């Protein structure tokens, strides 16, 4: 079998092996959302955040590799399928990562990250400008692996601290050009050649996965309730409206020009990394939104306590903020519609204690719909999707 082949950047689209690979992350996202649902404390939220960052990192680094190399070849497929198998056990271990399966979770994570980096470095075509970058990535992942394994052996807050350091290593190193002594840092022009269309499409498809989690949470919440009272049915309708509106806000005015802008920039690697940083927040916000929707459908007439308020507002606020940053990256400015939407959500949060979850969810959905309508009819033509 031939070595991994450099991908044609002009015709790169998401391949079927990549879509198949993403099935594991449908399971992983569900595991993380349920973990947060059952650990609605500050400590539980921080733990869920680390689990989400770790999960996104595996996907993100794999997305970069499939951007650089042709994924629709036998050897590359075998690598992706091996990662899927490990990822299945990794996803199953997610709920126990901060309990009895910490070391198993860390080991599976390291096997995927370091194993993929080593395989790509070994089978990449010789003499590529990308070769030095692959070595730097491998070394940085080995460094972070020490903290992952150390965290797996530790307990409690020390585990969270060590895993937090590991996450910082893997998130921060791309912005430093994977700088290392002797090897130096990556040259953005020669070692970060990427397909903007492929990278943008990969992020867009993961947004669909996260939106799907909202649908799954809505359906599973309805399944668990008998009989379906009017407030429950209205809560489900509000949930669907919120999901549809979030899709509209992102895909109608935010995502269309992403591939063109990445391709035309003088530093595609750094801009592509920024896209990933923004999308980890954007998709994470959708996961929190799914949890808030489940809380509302389960108890639509319950009063708003602090924990529920933070979840109900945290998802939409995070989503509008991340989507606004995405728009700023694309067009150079934070959209006014998003800024006003965020202000309205904050004002709603201040008075949320006087009513129930269903009313607040409906008002949040109304704000999101207003932002979507504004974006659809008031944005300039040059910001419309191509």
Q: Are residues 311 and 172 in the same domain?
A: no
pLDDT of residue 381: 47
Counting Cα atoms < 13 Å in the Cβ hemisphere of 297 gives 28
Return the minimum-mean-pLDDT range out of 136-150, 206-220, 249-263, 337-351. Answer: 249-263
pLDDT of residue 384: 47
- At which of 191, 206, 234 does a domain end? 191
Mean pLDDT confidence for 362-373: 95
- Residue 4 counted as domain residue: no
Tally the domains of the chain. 2
Q: What is the mean pLDDT of the chain?
A: 88
Structure tokens at 227: 């009989």
Q: Are residues 27 and 84 in the same domain?
A: yes
- At which of 142, 170, 191 does a domain end? 191
Q: What are the φ/ψ torsions at residue 241 (nearest 5 degrees)?
A: -60, -40
Q: Are residues 184 and 200 in the same domain?
A: no
Q: Are residues 37 and 62 in the same domain?
A: yes
pLDDT at 286 > cutoff 90: yes
Q: Are residues 187 and 200 in the same domain?
A: no
Q: Which residues of 318-342 are buried (b: 16+ CB within 10 A; e: fewer)?
A: bbbbbbbbbbebbbeeebebbeebb
Of the two residues 96 and 227, the one the predictor is more confident about is: 96
Q: Which residue has the tokens 């993100």?
A: 60
pLDDT of residue 385: 42
- Residue 7 counted as domain residue: no
Q: Which residues pair with 6 in a beta bridge?
A: 69
Mean pLDDT confidence for 104-115: 98
Q: Which residues pair with 4 in a beta bridge?
A: 124
pLDDT of residue 282: 96
pLDDT of residue 194: 72
Q: Are residues 35 and 157 in the same domain?
A: yes
Mean pLDDT confidence for 178-206: 78
pLDDT of residue 341: 96
Q: Are residues 36 and 184 in the same domain?
A: yes
Q: Are residues 289 and 155 in the same domain?
A: no
Give percent of the chain with pLDDT exceeding 90.
Answer: 63
pLDDT of residue 199: 83
Q: Are residues 127 and 232 in the same domain?
A: no
Q: 111-127: per-residue pLDDT in tens?
A: 999 999 999 988 887 66
Q: Specify the CATH number for the domain of residue 245.
A: 1.20.1410
Nearest CA to 213 out of 36, 9, 12 is that of 36
Structure tokens at 66: 């499939």
CA–CA dist 298, 169 (Å, integer): 39
Q: 296-324: per-residue pLDDT in tens?
A: 999 999 988 888 899 999 999 999 999 99
Q: Are residues 372 and 225 in the same domain?
A: yes
Q: 60-103: per-residue pLDDT in tens?
A: 999 999 988 888 888 999 999 999 999 999 999 999 999 999 99
- At which of 191, 221, 248 does a domain end? 191
pLDDT of residue 382: 45
Give the domain extent around 324: 196-383
pLDDT of residue 50: 97
Q: What are the φ/ψ torsions at residue 300 (nearest 5 degrees)?
A: -65, -30
Q: Are residues 312 and 247 in the same domain?
A: yes
Q: Are residues 168 and 56 in the same domain?
A: yes
CA–CA dist 251, 238 (Å, integer): 20
pLDDT of residue 263: 64
| Cβ atoms 259, 201 nearer than 8 A | yes
Which helix (H) or strand (E) element contains residue 238? helix 230-253
pLDDT at 170 > cutoff 80: yes
pLDDT of residue 254: 56
Mean pLDDT confidence for 220-230: 91
CA dihedral 147, 149, 150, 154 (to 10 degrees): 130
Q: 20-69: per-residue pLDDT in tens?
A: 999 999 999 999 999 999 999 999 999 999 999 999 999 999 999 998 88
Report residue 260's pLDDT band, with 50, 70 and 90 as the boundaries.
Answer: low
Q: 183-192: per-residue pLDDT in tens?
A: 888 765 556 6
Nearest CA to 40 out of 312, 279, 286, 236 is that of 312
Report residue 386's pLDDT band, with 50, 70 and 90 as the boundaries.
Answer: very low
pLDDT of residue 73: 87
Report residue 175's pLDDT band, with 50, 70 and 90 as the boundaries.
Answer: confident
């Amino acid at each position: 079998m031939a070595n991994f082949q450099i991908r044609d950047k002009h015709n790169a689209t998401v391949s079927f092996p990549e879509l198949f690979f993403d099935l594991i992350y449908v399971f992983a996202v569900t595991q993380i959302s349920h973990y947060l649902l059952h650990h609605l404390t500050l400590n539980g939220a921080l733990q869920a955040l680390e689990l989400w960052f770790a999960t996104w990192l595996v996907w993100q680094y794999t997305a970069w590799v499939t951007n650089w190399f042709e994924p629709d070849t036998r050897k590359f497929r075998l690598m992706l399928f091996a990662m899927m198998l490990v990822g299945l056990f990794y996803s199953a271990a997610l709920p126990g990562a901060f309990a009895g399966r910490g070391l198993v979770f860390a080991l599976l994570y390291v096997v995927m990250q370091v194993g993929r980096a080593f395989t790509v470095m070994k089978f990449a075509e010789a003499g590529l400008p990308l070769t030095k970058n692959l070595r730097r990535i491998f070394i940085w992942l080995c460094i972070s692996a020490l903290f992952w394994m150390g965290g797996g052996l530790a307990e409690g807050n020390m585990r969270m601290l060590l895993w937090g350091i590991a996450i910082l290593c893997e998130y921060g190193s791309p912005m430093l050009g994977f700088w290392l002594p002797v090897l130096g840092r990556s040259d953005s022009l020669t070692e970060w050649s990427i397909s903007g269309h492929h990278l943008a499409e990969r992020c867009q498809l993961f947004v669909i996965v996260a939106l799907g989690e909202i649908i799954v949470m809505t359906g599973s919440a309805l399944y668990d309730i008998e009989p379906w009272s009017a407030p429950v049915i209205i809560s489900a309708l509000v949930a669907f409206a919120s999901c549809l509106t979030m899709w509209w806000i992102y895909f109608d005015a935010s995502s269309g020009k992403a591939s063109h802008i990445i391709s035309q920039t003088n530093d595609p690697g750094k801009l592509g990394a920024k896209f990933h940083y923004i999308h980890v927040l954007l998709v994470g916000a959708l996961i929190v939104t799914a949890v808030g929707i489940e809380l509302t459908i389960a108890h639509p007439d319950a009063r708003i306590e602090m924990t529920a308020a933070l979840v109900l507002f945290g998802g939409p606020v995070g989503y509008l903020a991340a989507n606004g940053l995405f728009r700023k990256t694309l067009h150079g400015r934070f959209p006014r519609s998003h800024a006003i939407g965020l202000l309205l959500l904050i004002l709603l949060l201040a008075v949320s204690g006087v009513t129930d979850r269903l009313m607040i969810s409906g008002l949040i959905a109304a704000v999101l719909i207003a932002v979507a309508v504004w974006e659809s009819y008031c944005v300039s033509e040059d910001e419309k999707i191509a």
